[in-house]
Amino acid sequence: MGIFFVIALLLILLILIIANIKIVPQAHAYIVERLGAYNATWSVGLHVKIPFIDRIASRVNLKEHVVDFPPQPVITKDNVTMQIDTIVYYQITDPKLFTYGVERPMMAIENLTATTLRNIIGDMELDETLTSRDTVNTEMRVILDEATDPWGIKINRVELKNIMPPAEIQDAMERQMKAERERRESILRAEGEKKSAILLAEGDKESAILRAEAKKQAAIREAEGQAEAILTVQQAVAEGIKKINEAKPSEGYLAMRSLESLEKIADGKSTKLIIPSELQGLAGLAASAKEIFKTE
């Protein structure tokens, strides 16, 4: 029976040892108290606590946490009450301070966030509040991070999720935005019509310039053609005179050519011709010769 007692005692001791072996997972930390007082902070790995003496007082998650606080009523500098809800991103950097620093840390952070938000928004007007989210986020993060440092908490980021003005102000803002959109639309339409009119006028101008240029070129080419024709005729006449002079024609030939020219000039349309005196004798001579040839 003594053997069974020893075996049972050994089994109980083994169970106690196994039960007091603790494994701390990644991104976690355990706060261990010994006889009610802080003893150690266990990090990742295998640990063994003394039965009935050591106690795990807190299991702390070291990951980044995100908490979405409900909307808080705040009053702006121009006495407009609005609802603003915030999101806080925080991380526990000191498990010991987090465990012993403040009672109910999340409620403390929520209340601190609400009071800080009221202080910041209270110094701003409505329009500035709606357009200064980044400024508000930065100021809140700095203030909250400094206030929560003794609690072992680091505030990484603060975001204003929604800013909800009163319904009448929202309606006025919507009407204002609608009027602004219509104004911009009218400006864009007017600018489009202006550009279209300018383009049409420029097109008409360029078309008129091209038509005038075309007429000018046609007139120039026609004048050049006439000039070339006159020049060709004059050159031909000059060349003919030159050849006649080179051939040394008789007076009779010249008289005959003159008569032919007179005939072409008259062409049956003239009623009176003035014949130079020197050609009258030649004309009579030509008529006499013609009669002689006929009698023969």
For 13-47, what is each residue's pLDDT tens digit?
A: 888 888 889 999 999 999 999 998 999 999 999 99
Give the pLDDT of residue 17: 83
What Cα–Cα distance (Å) separates residue 122 from each residue in 74, 89, 125, 197, 230?
Answer: 7, 23, 8, 53, 99
| Residue 289 binned pLDDT confidence (cut-offs 50, 70, 90) | very low
The token pair that represents 70 in the structure block: 């409900």
What's the pTM value of the predicted model, to 2 decimals? Answer: 0.57
Give yes or no for residue 60 having a pLDDT over 60.
Answer: yes
Give the pLDDT of residue 192: 87
Q: What is the 8-class DSSP label of residue 25?
A: P
Any idea where the domains of the chain sit in the sequence?
Answer: 2-61, 64-165, 257-296
Q: What is the 8-class DSSP label of residue 56?
A: E
Average pLDDT of the chain?
Answer: 81
| pLDDT tens for each residue of 230-273 | 888 777 777 766 776 666 655 655 555 665 655 555 555 555 55
| pLDDT tens for each residue of 77-120 | 888 888 999 999 999 999 999 999 888 888 999 999 999 999 99
Q: CATH code for 64-165?
A: 3.30.479.30
DSSP for 144-203, written as a single string = HHHHHGGGTEEEEEEEEEEEE--HHHHHHHHHHHHHHHHHHHHHHHHHHHHHHHHHHHHH
Of 77-91, 178-192, 193-207, 268-282, the range with the lowest mean pLDDT is 268-282
